[in-house]
Structures are given as structure tokens and as C-alpha cells.
Chain A
Amino acid sequence: MALIDLHKREIHCKIVYYGPGRCGKTTNLFYIYNAVSEKYRGKLLTIETKGDRTLFFDLLPINLGKIHGLDIRIQLYTVPGQAHYRATRKLVLKGVDGIVFVADSLRKRREKNIESLLDLRNNLREYNLELEEVPLVFQYNKRDLVSANIPLLTIEELENDLNKELRVPYFEAAAVKGIGVFETLREISKRTVKYVARKYIFSQNSAKAQGGIL
């Protein structure tokens, strides 16, 4: 649930990076954290286990600039990907305004991607949300491994497995090198802010960002 503070003239939205374990959700956040100047970002909060897997969530607040005189503040969250943390993922999804589904391009993770998307759909339903109504983009991560001769799923296969019916934008990425990270963030932010604006403030006006990191 977005929060609109007319006193400070701020809009707060929540974007969650979802996807199977080890697909690179936290890597996205780290890259954004390191690439964005301090002026536009808050502290990076991570709760991880010793094996550097996310235990609960990571949180990175960023500032996207102004729309119609309102400051857009976005909180980027990740969820723990491992299947047995389902209850935790559901908690993090509470009040979500936009979702990036990070899919692992490794061929051997094909089933994990499909399972994770289904898990997302089921978790949203518990909050009476349908996957189709929440702003969503896909990020097909680890595309750089193609040059290392590691068997990867083709974009067509990923699209067919995950995005056949949803038909939302997708981005090819190598999050560890930053490729595709900001493209993904830019698109999901645009969609989320539009969705929040339509839902809570403006009925028709199209929102356009001015300044900020994107």
C-alpha cells in the first residue's frame, strides 16, 4: 500500500524483487546501492545468513525525483528465494506496489523459476491481489554466462515458461556487472508510480518524472 504524505509532499511506494534462490535479487540491490549517489539513496539494510543468502529481506530506499511537485520515494525489497521461506516472502509482499521477477537463466534452474512464479501468484492471492493487476516486469538474469559455455535457457524459452500470458516487459541482465539493472528499475518504477498515481491521486493525468536518478 503506497503512502502519500501531503505534508512532506512525498509518495512512498514498495517494489519487491522476487524470484528463486540464488537468482540475483540482492545483487541487483547491491549494484543500485553502489551506483547511485548518496543524495538519492538511503541505507542498505540486509538480513542475511552466514552463507550470504537473504534470511528475511534486504531494503534499499531510493529517491526518484519529483512528479507533480511530489517527491517519489521508493523502497526496494528483496525476498529470500529458497522454497522453505515461503512465510517470510508472504510477509515482505505485504503492501507491495510493484514487482520485479528475477528469473535465473541457467537451464538447470528452469523448474525453480516456474515454481517461484507460482508461489508469487499464490502469495499475492492471500492478500486478495492477482498477479495481473500488480505492476510487474521480468528480468532474465545471468545472460553473461553464455560466453562461459554454461547451458542457459534461451529468451524464447524463458518467455514461454513465464511470460506467455502475462505479456509484460522483460530485460536481459547480468546483475553482477550491472547490465540491465537500471533498465529494469526504470521500467518498474515508471509502472509502479503510474499505478499508484492512478489508484490514489490523479484520475487521468500521465505522470512524468523530473530529475532524480532515472
Chain B
Amino acid sequence: MVLTEEKIRQLQGVLENQLLTIGVSLAILIDEAGNVIVSSGNGTNVDTTSLAALAAANFGATAQIAKLLGEEDFSILYHKGKRDNIHFSKIGKEFILVTIFGDETPLGLVRLRVSQVSQELLNLLAEDDF
């Protein structure tokens, strides 16, 4: 996959405008192989390479659990921590949007926004210049 400068700006714009504005501290768009496509937010302390690899693996593992239950996959995963929470959402067939946010941001709002931006991101990723 080839990402142009313009494409990255557009993808980052969506993450910033839709997710960082509601209090998400870090939003990362990754692919299922564990590559970071774009990330946005205050991620200086987070090892995004490891996070992306683990997130992709986590999704792959739960997809196998889903299959045991007769589901295709679980399109949303959520882990709650003491300070930070992390939400993973499948974007189309190949991408995963990872968002990290604190307790002051309601989970419902994150879920709503993520589902709203999902199509927008997918349109940008699916355009034929790849």
C-alpha cells in the first residue's frame, strides 16, 4: 500500500477533527498486518509500533474466538484501565482504528464517533490511488 502525503493529511484530519476534539488522547489507524498507517494525538510516550502489532494480533485472536461461536469476527473490542481505556474498531475488512481515552470521555461518545468516521476513513483508504 502506498500512502501519499495528501492522503495522510486527509486521514489525520479526520482523526483530529472527529476524535481528538472529544477528548481522545491518541488515535491510530493500523492495518491487519500490524502496520501503523497514521496516528494522531499525544502519543510521544506510547510505543505505537508495538501497540499496532499487538492490536492486530489481539484482533486476529478474538476473530478466532468469534469463529468458535459461529460469528465472523467481533468488530469492536474495548479494554478498561484505571486511567486509560482503549477501544478497537474494525474499519472495513483490513483496517483497525485504535483509540485511547481517559475516564472523562464517555465510552458511548467514542463509540458513536468511531462509527461515524468509519465510513469516511474507509472512503479515503479505498480510493483508487493505492
Q: Which residues of A contact B (CB under 8 A)?
A: 1-7, 12, 14, 42-43, 45, 56-57, 59, 61, 75, 77, 87-88, 91-92, 94-96, 200-201
Out of B3, B5, B47, B61, which one reaches A91, CB within 8 Å?
B61
Flag whether B32 is at the interface (Cβ < 8 A): yes
* Interface size band for B: 20 to 34
Residue-wise, chain B 4-22 has the 8 Å CB interface mask toward A (1 for contact) of 1100110000000000000
- Are A94 and B54 within 8 A (Cβ)? no
Would you call A95 and B54 a contact (CB within 8 A)?
no
Chain A residues lying within 8 Å of B8, measured Cβ to Cβ, are 5-7
Q: A56-B57, A91-B60, A201-B2 in contact; A3/B31 too (CB < 8 A)?
A: yes
Once the chains are docked, how many angstroms separate the CA of A88 from the CA of B8?
31
Question: How close is B61's CB to chain A, nearest CB, in angstroms?
Answer: 7
B33 to chain A: which residues have CB within 8 Å? Answer: 1, 14, 94-96
Does B3 lie within 8 Å of A3, measured CB to CB? Answer: yes
Q: A20 → chain B, closest Cβ, in Å?
A: 21
Residue B1 contacts which of A1, A87, A92, A94 (CB distance < 8 angstroms)? Answer: A1
Q: B1 to A2, Cβ gap below 8 A?
A: yes
Task: Give the residue name and chain of the B residue nearest to A92 (CB).
Answer: B57
- Determine the residue in chain A with the shortest Cβ distance to B67: A87
Contact residues in B for A96 (Cβ distance below 8 Å): 33
Flag whether B64 is at the interface (Cβ < 8 A): yes
Shortest beta-carbon contacts, A-B, top 8:
A95-B33, A91-B60, A3-B35, A7-B8, A7-B5, A4-B2, A45-B50, A59-B53
A-B contacts at CB below 8 angstroms, number: 72
- B31 contact set on A, CB distance < 8 A: 1, 3, 95
Does B100 have its Cβ within 8 Å of any Cβ on chain A?
A: no
Given contacts A1-B33, A3-B31, A7-B5, contact A59 B50 (CB under 8 A): yes
Question: How does the 8 Å CB contact mask read for B44-82 relative to A, with 1 for contact and 0 for none?
Answer: 000101100110110011001000000000000000000
B2 touching A43 by the CB < 8 A rule? no
CA A87 – CA B64 in complex, angstroms? 8
Q: Is the CB of B64 within 8 A of A42?
A: no
List chain B residues, Cβ under 8 A from A3. 1, 3, 31, 35, 37
Q: Are A43 and B47 in contact (CB under 8 A)?
A: yes
Given known A-B contacts A43-B47, A59-B50, A59-B53, A12 and B2 have beta carbons under 8 A apart: no
Q: Do B5 and A95 touch across chains, with their CB atoms under 8 A apart?
A: no
B34 close to A (CB within 8 Å): yes
Report the Cα distance A42→B33, complex, angstroms. Answer: 18
Q: Give the shortest distance, in Å, between A98 (CB) and chain B (any CB).
A: 13
Known: A43-B47, A75-B34. A4 touches B60 (CB 8 A): no
Q: In the complex the two chains form, is A200's CB within 8 Å of B2's CB?
A: yes
Contact (A6, B32) CB under 8 Å given A42-B49, A45-B53, A91-B61? no
In the bound complex, CA of A43 to CA of B52 (Å): 13
Choose from A4, A6, A75, A88 the contact partner of B53 (Cβ within 8 Å): A75
Assembled-state Cα–Cα distance A59/B4 (Å): 27
Q: Would you give 19 A-B contacts (Cβ < 8 Å), ordered by A? A: A1-B33, A2-B1, A3-B31, A4-B1, A5-B8, A6-B2, A6-B4, A42-B47, A43-B47, A56-B61, A57-B57, A59-B49, A88-B61, A94-B34, A94-B60, A95-B32, A95-B34, A95-B35, A200-B1
